[in-house]
A and B are shown apart, each in its own frame.
Chain A
């Protein structure tokens, strides 16, 4: 595939993703949260009872769709290839702390872009931190950072994560009593588009992201490392499309989908320093992981069990964040959350150093 075609395809994928991201809010998702991998994994963890924060409990069909969309696209193009074994526990811990950073900021890199497209100026601080975090990761990559090679796994191993998502879909639809759902008015978990719409949006974005390798971290990383604009084009296209749709919806409906301000933004706080530090941690951890939370879901759908373990780390991180008061709220960050982010930055830096500056056997 030539370079122009690759950039064109990711531009189309980014535009469609941005449109769907904005449109999901129209259909019922929380404001500026058409997609948020961190928030949605946190909601799913809550629905499974891994944490008991009543405001954020719902099995998000977007996550299920993203994984299954990637799985189907990979199967169709014969790219489905189970593999793993590249420092899985290290990846689990990086995923854990990436989530701690995301929940300090209140959103993953994907939601950061959607927050920017909704006029949330707090996300500018997040973007600054995100870029700084990626630069920290690039420092180690340039010095030889590696989590070493993956190995081919049995077919069954690769099927497990998509199968788990299919099981989640059954639990969502069947809604047995042991699955927890945020009651109406309780918070973001109670706000969601109809299951079928969320699922289809997830399937579409998952398939497109699998084909184009769309990744929020990769966009900035590859531009800095190689002056390669391919992934960055997708990142910019998501922003542009969501911004345009938000402006159109604000003009054409009674709702407000774009407000240029720092205060009174939905599911956001105004502490610039901790918005930046949260995304610094997320950007740093995700660069050492090789991709943003969206990319980890897509890779898990392709059969990469290291990414599946990373997603489990993200979910456990979300559970810890809500069980121990680490997650921010609209009122701002918590003291526990600030300590956790500092610990996270130290741990991620240590993982970077220990996998970079070592004696060769």
Chain B
């Protein structure tokens, strides 16, 4: 499982990060983001890539768990 920290980064950077990471085709990834747009965009990208996304919120930050 690869963990990526995209907190403080704004789109499209978090999506480019997950896009590059997903080239290794792992079964699961975890990404931390801190804004709604990144949460939505990464979720949309991961779901299109066939991952199921679970989102946990903690004080304005989001942890996205992506699993095949």
Which of A's residues lie within 8 Å of B, judged by CB? Answer: 1, 3, 6, 79, 81, 83, 86, 141-142, 146, 148-151, 213, 218, 221-222, 225-226, 228, 230, 290
With known contacts A86-B8, A226-B19, A146–B13 Cβ distance under 8 A: yes
**B12 neighbours in A (Cβ, 8 Å):** 141, 218, 221-222, 225-226, 290
State which of A1, A151, A221, A290 has its C-beta within 8 Å of the C-beta of B10: A290
With known contacts A149-B7, A290-B10, A225–B40 Cβ distance under 8 A: no
What does the 1/0 interface line of B15-26 toward A look like (CB < 8 Å)? 110010000000
State which of A79, A150, A290 has its C-beta within 8 Å of the C-beta of B36: A79
**A1 neighbours in B (Cβ, 8 Å):** 40
The answer to the question of B27 belonging to the interface, with a C-beta cut-off of 8 Å to chain A, is no
Contact yes or no, B44 A230, CB < 8 A: yes
A–B Cβ pairs within 8 angstroms, 11 of them: A3-B44, A3-B48, A83-B8, A142-B16, A146-B9, A149-B8, A149-B9, A151-B8, A213-B40, A218-B12, A226-B45
A213 to B12 alpha-carbon distance, docked (Å):
12
Contact yes or no, A150 B8, CB < 8 A: yes
A79 to B11 alpha-carbon distance, docked (Å):
16
A86 to B11 alpha-carbon distance, docked (Å):
13
Separation in Å of the A219 CB from the closest CB of chain B?
A: 12
Separation in Å of the B15 CB from the closest CB of chain A?
A: 6
**B19 neighbours in A (Cβ, 8 Å):** 225-226
A49 to B44 alpha-carbon distance, docked (Å):
45
Contact yes or no, B8 A228, CB < 8 A: no
The answer to the question of B50 belonging to the interface, with a C-beta cut-off of 8 Å to chain A, is no
A65 to B31 alpha-carbon distance, docked (Å):
35
A6 to B36 alpha-carbon distance, docked (Å):
13
State which of A6, A81, A141, A146 has its C-beta within 8 Å of the C-beta of B44: A6
**B37 neighbours in A (Cβ, 8 Å):** 213
**A6 neighbours in B (Cβ, 8 Å):** 40, 44
